[in-house]
Structure 1
Amino acid sequence: MPEVSTRTHSVTLPQGELTLTWAAVTDTGRRREINQDAVLADFPLFIVADGMGGHIGGEIASASTITRLSATLDGAKMTPRIIEKALTRAVKDIASHPEATDEGTGTTVTGVYLDVTTPEPHWVTLNIGDSRVYLSRDDSLVQITTDHSVVQELIAAGRLSPEEAENHPYGNVITRAVGPTESVKPDYVRLDLVDGDRFVICSDGLTKELTDFGIQHFLEEHSDPAAAVSAMLDAALENGGRDNVTIIVLDVVFVGAS
């Protein structure tokens, strides 16, 4: 079992004191030989990338994406432009390995960052692919990102129910990815900065094995992020561990200025 620890970062904003506490874990799972997932969990950017492609192509794609996004942390204030420039560089990195990558190589990129470029700081989620960002607020868990997948398109068109989607043969087919033939413009969602929020950012290796109810259960059982991600990983492996599993739990404490 991977070592998991909780990290904390505090920042003083004009509106008050913000303290973030988080933990991240990634695991190969029980049926895959290599881990094609990659993770970045460092203030102010929290990202999961799930690579796809034969041989080591998916591993190259996810690692390149995380490396390029990590380079943006050096004093920069996160913006969509910075994110997309990093993803464009990642696409070039992926294409620079023709011996291991092809048109089918790519990666999801999903996560959340703190935007302090406006008078009111807020969260922004970003998403390409079918990894997910969930938000737990007021005892309710909501999926914030929308999957870029064939199954999600069938659900949106009313041709498939969410229950039918769980075991659909096209369940692994995504419609957008970061790769040589894809656009690198994510979908963005803005969220208010609210005390007590908990984010879960994860690859589909978790959501294949754990329902939304199960995710919420482990959040309620474990107030410490490291304990929460460890419990979710244990459950995903116990339920089959059919894919690589990557999870970030990010907790928000925000005390407004008096």
Structure 2
Amino acid sequence: MYQIEYAYTCHMGRVRANNEDNLWCCGESLPADNQGMEGVHSQIVSGLKTPAMAVFDGMGGESCGEMAAFLASDEFGRYYRANRRTLRDIPELFIDGVCESMNQAVCRYAAENHIQSMGTTLAMTLFTPESMFVCNLGDSRIYFSDEKSFRQVSTDHILGKSGLGKAPLTQYLGVPEEQQKLEPAVLEIEHKEGNRYLMCSDGVTDMLSDGEIADILSRKNSLRETVELLLDRALQKGGRDNATIILCEVQKQELKGKFKAWLKSIKEKNEG
């Protein structure tokens, strides 16, 4: 039995006049027109509820970025509520389905409103009873950390490196199916108490190096304090873009009295 503690925030940064980021965090998300969040929110959820969390970083002018991120977040929530059992039983099928559904939602809006350039990146974590899955499209990242290690577990979908600004993305939500096939990067990781997963938009990773992020995650701080420190550091170093952060940790869940007694009775019955 395990539980997931998580902390999250979304900030406009110090330069941008609007917020093109969004998130979906165990049912919590932001409206299309938002100015980020006040402070850091945190919760604990049982692993039995198949928790899911995602970061979206919208792209496109004329308010298209925030609409793309909002539409993807909204569709993620709709699909999750309708297919939670699929996530629990066949997570790979859920991942393919939710990515296709989100992509269609963004593409449909773009077509109906005659928008040529509109999209959003995706970084999500999905928890099942046996393990968890990380999945991403674009350059929003997912990091893994425990007491001994720190590493990026997402894939940067970018076209080489550019010395003249941001390199173009090779994968994101909002590409018509006839133009390009979605190929999300997916990784399964076995549950282990103390594992932490950080999802963040490039408003964080463009400001902080992997070494700086690893140093902050290695400290014995609470999840809320860690998210606050990551955001503060990104803002101190310029805050040139919107910044969204979700940090979660796998924890052992102590069974409550009646449920524990019920499990014990079942075990004794089976052994008998």
User: Do the two structures share a fold, i.e. TM-score over 0.5?
Assistant: yes
Secondary structure of 1:216 counterpart: helix
Secondary structure of 1:55 counterpart: coil
Q: TM-score, normalised by structure 2?
A: 0.75
Partner of 1:82: 94
- 5+ residue gaps, structure 2, are 27-49, 256-263, 265-272
Partner of 2:234: 236
Q: How much has 1:256 moved relative to structure 2?
A: 10
Between Structure 1 and Structure 2, the one with more helix by share is: 2
Contact between 2:110 and 2:118, CA under 8 Å: does it hold in 1?
no
Q: How much has 1:88 moved relative to structure 2?
A: 2.9
Distance in 1 (CA, whole Å) between partners of 2:56 and 2:170 is: 15
Distance in 2 (CA, whole Å) between partners of 1:39 and 1:237 is: 19
The C-alpha deviation readout for 1:75-94, integer Å capped at 9, x for no partner, is: 71322333333333333332
Contact between 1:61 and 1:105, CA under 8 Å: does it hold in 2?
yes
Instruction: Give the 5 Å matches for 1:217-236.
Output: 217-236=215-234
- 5+ residue gaps, structure 1, are 1-16, 155-164
Deviating beyond 6 angstroms after TM superposition, the runs of 4 or more aligned structure 1 residues are 255-258
Q: How much has 1:25 moved relative to structure 2?
A: 0.6
Instruction: Give the 5 Å matches for 1:1-258.
Output: 17-42=1-26, 44-74=51-81, 76-77=84-85, 78=87, 79-94=91-106, 95-98=108-111, 102-116=115-129, 121-151=130-160, 168-181=163-176, 182-254=180-252
Distance in 1 (CA, whole Å) between partners of 2:143 and 2:200 is: 8
Q: How much has 1:99 moved relative to structure 2?
A: 7.2
Q: How much has 1:97 moved relative to structure 2?
A: 4.5
Contact between 2:171 and 2:183, CA under 8 Å: does it hold in 1?
no
Task: Select the structure of larger CA radius of gyration.
Answer: 2
CA RMSD of aligned residues (A): 2.4
Distance in 2 (CA, whole Å) between partners of 1:241 and 1:89 is: 32
Secondary structure of 2:58 counterpart: strand
Q: TM-score, normalised by structure 1?
A: 0.79
The C-alpha deviation readout for 1:120-164, integer Å capped at 9, x for no partner, is: x1111101101111000233210001100123xx5xxxxxxxxxx
The alignment covers a number of residue pairs equal to 224
Q: Could you tell me the percent identity over the aligned residues?
A: 27
Q: How much has 1:98 moved relative to structure 2?
A: 4.6
